[in-house]
Every structure is written in C-alpha cells, then in structure tokens.
Amino acid sequence: MGIRTRGPEDEGLHMAEDETNTPRFPHTPVMLERIVDLFTPALEGPGKVVVDATLGMGGHSEGLLERFPELTLIGLDRDTDALGIAGDRLARFGDRVRLVHTVYDGIVEAIEGEGFEQVDGVLFDLGVSSLQLDRAERGFAYSQDAPLDMRMDRTEGQTAADVLATYDEGELRRIFQRYGEEKLAGRYARAIVERRASAPFEMSGDLVQVLHDATPVAIQRQGHPAKRVFQALRIEVNAELSVLERAIPAALDSIAVGGRIVVESYQSLEDRIVKRALTARTKSSAPAGLPVELPEHRPTYELVVKGAELADEAERAANPRATPVRLRAAERIRK
C-alpha cells in the first residue's frame, strides 16, 4: 500500500504512538454502523470501489474494508499526519487500500490517478478531525495553549496567526460573522486589531484571553467566547466551505449508477451546502409549466435518508463528538 501525493511531502507521515512506541488508534468513528448499512447495497460484491474523501485516522475506512472483503478503498486527506496514521492502521488490507495526499475537491483527479473512471460510493466526514483536535500543537483547540496554526495540511498555506496579523478589522468581522455566525464579530475584530498593535498573536492562549476580555460577563455564561471565532479561523485558513462547494458536485459526478454518497456534517454551514447539492440532483430540472418531463430532466439521484439523520442517544452518550452530526445520503439512479 503506497501513498500517492499531489502536494509537497514532509516528515509528518508517521503513526500515532504512546511513550512505548505502541501504535494506538483512539479515534471513534461517528455513526459507523449506520454508514456501513447505508453503503451495503452499493458496495457488496466484487470490483466495488469506495472513496473515503476525509480519511482522518481511518476509522470509517477500516469498518468498510472489514465489512466488504472485496472492496477497494481510495482514501483522501490533506493532513500528512493523518495519512501516516491511517496508512499504519489499514496496512493489513494490502493493495485494497490506495491513499492520496490531496484536498477532497481533488476527488476526480484522485480517482483517475488510481486507474478508475467511476466509483460505487463516496464518504465525507466533514470538519476538524479527532487527530487535529487532540494534538495541542496543531492549534485547533481553544482549550489548549498552542501555536496558532490550524492548517489541516501543514506543508502549505497561511496559518491562523497569519490571518490575525494581516486581515483588517472589516475582513476579520466578515469571517467571524460568516463562518462562525458570531454575534459579537465586530467587537472581537476590533479587540484583535487593538491588541496586535502592541504584539502579534502567536499562541492560542493569547487570542482566548483577548476574546474573554472583550465578552460581556452575561454572554460568557452562555458558552466559551472563543468557540465560534476558532471555528471561523479554521474554516478561513483551510478554505473549507469553498472546497466543499466544489467537492460534493464532483463526487456526485464520479459515482456510478447504483452507487451512493454519504455525508456527515457537524455545523450548519456545511450541512446547507450538502443539502443544496443533493437537492439539485434529486429534483427534476424541467422548467416550470412544461407539460411533459423529458428524460434528460429527470433526477439523477434519490435520497436514501429523509432529511438529516442524527446519531442515537446511546452513541451521543458514548462519543460526545457525535452530538452535532447531521447525516445525509443519496443513491445514483441514472446517468
């Protein structure tokens, strides 16, 4: 099993270890059993191919490979640390696994690069991964003081510290409002610009303190003041929403008739993009008032989950990261 890269390599390709150098995989994949069930009609039998577009530490991929013994899996991730860990976790499946270093809007090129024209399933598990949250040095978690990085691919691109240093007050307010849906966006943007005039932001603790000091006491009781700002910075640094807007249609175009797409979203901005893309493919494109629907106007997909499905109470209790998940799925019914 090799890793095909579409970006610069670095030393980050390694497995997760404890102090005794024993591999460990702490990640609990969200709604794994439900995802396996949804993919079963599409992935059973020989010659089937699935893309895990958000490989992470490989938990969902491992579940699919175990359940479908003839399945080939193409795993995509922009995070070289994740590719290293998943590669170790999935090594026992041999050449059934193909790992590609790419952002998931590169899904078409990744599929073609592995020698396939179409696939039978695509899985997206969106948002920040457990690996990124749990490693303090990545700077994703506002609860841990660390360098303000937040890049999912640490081989390229601007960091959160760069954003805080170079964006003007209006730009900061815009991303806090748009990507964090933060009501105090203007107040926070102004406080950040005032603070950076004396010293640049380098550590997450510095930003958390500024946000805390700028938050009225009554609002502090409603939740951590840094939560939405950190979300907004992460989305901006990684261009997550624009990438997703390209990736979902590309994935839908890549799935063969009878194949399925399953998407897990964790916040409303992601879920809206997914819902719009699926709606466009599951409704007739015939102009209003047309007396007869022509074949080319018929939907190419049908929903296999009505609306957005939630994790059940037992899974939310066992795995708190499943609490906000919204799952959507559809099957391709015609070319």
pLDDT tens digit sequence for 255-291:
999 999 999 999 999 999 999 999 999 997 767 666 6
Band (13; pLDDT cuts 50, 70, 90): very low
Q: Token pair of 182, please?
A: 């933060």
- Tell me the average pLDDT across 2-11: 41
Question: Residue 87: what pLDDT?
Answer: 97
- Tell me the average pLDDT across 121-150: 78
Instruction: Say which residue, 57 or 289, is predicted with more confidence.
Output: 57
Question: Residue 131: what pLDDT?
Answer: 59
Rounded CA-CA distance 273/127 in Å is 13
pLDDT tens-digit map of 155-192: 889 999 999 999 999 999 999 999 999 999 999 999 99
Say yes or no to pLDDT of 221 above 80.
no
Question: Residue 2: what pLDDT?
Answer: 53
Rounded CA-CA distance 120/256 in Å is 6
Say yes or no to pLDDT of 65 above 90.
yes
Q: What strands lie across the sheet with 301-303, from one edge to the other?
A: 3-5, 97-101, 72-77, 49-52, 119-125, 255-265, 326-332, 301-303
Question: Residue 23: what pLDDT?
Answer: 40
- Tell me the average pLDDT across 195-222: 91
Question: Residue 22: what pLDDT?
Answer: 34
Mean per-residue pLDDT over the chain, rounded: 88
How would DSSP label each residue in 172-201? HHHHHHHHH--TTHHHHHHHHHHHHTTS--
Question: Residue 141: what pLDDT?
Answer: 73
pLDDT tens-digit map of 30-45: 999 999 999 999 999 9
- In Å, the largest CA–CA distance within the chain is 71
Question: Residue 328: what pLDDT?
Answer: 98
What b/e readout covers 276-299, taking b as 16+ CB neighbours within 10 angstroms?
A: ebbeebeeeeeeeeeeeeeeeeeb
Say yes or no to pLDDT of 295 above 90.
no
Question: Residue 289: what pLDDT?
Answer: 64
- For residue 88, which phi and psi values (nearest 5 degrees)? -70, -40
Poorest-pLDDT segment among 243-257, 275-289, 299-313: 275-289
Say yes or no to pLDDT of 325 above 50.
yes
Say yes or no to pLDDT of 14 above 70.
no
Beta carbons of 7 and 156 less than 8 angstroms apart: yes
- Tell me the average pLDDT across 248-253: 98
Say yes or no to pLDDT of 16 above 90.
no
pLDDT tens-digit map of 92-118: 999 999 999 999 999 999 999 999 999
Band (218; pLDDT cuts 50, 70, 90): confident
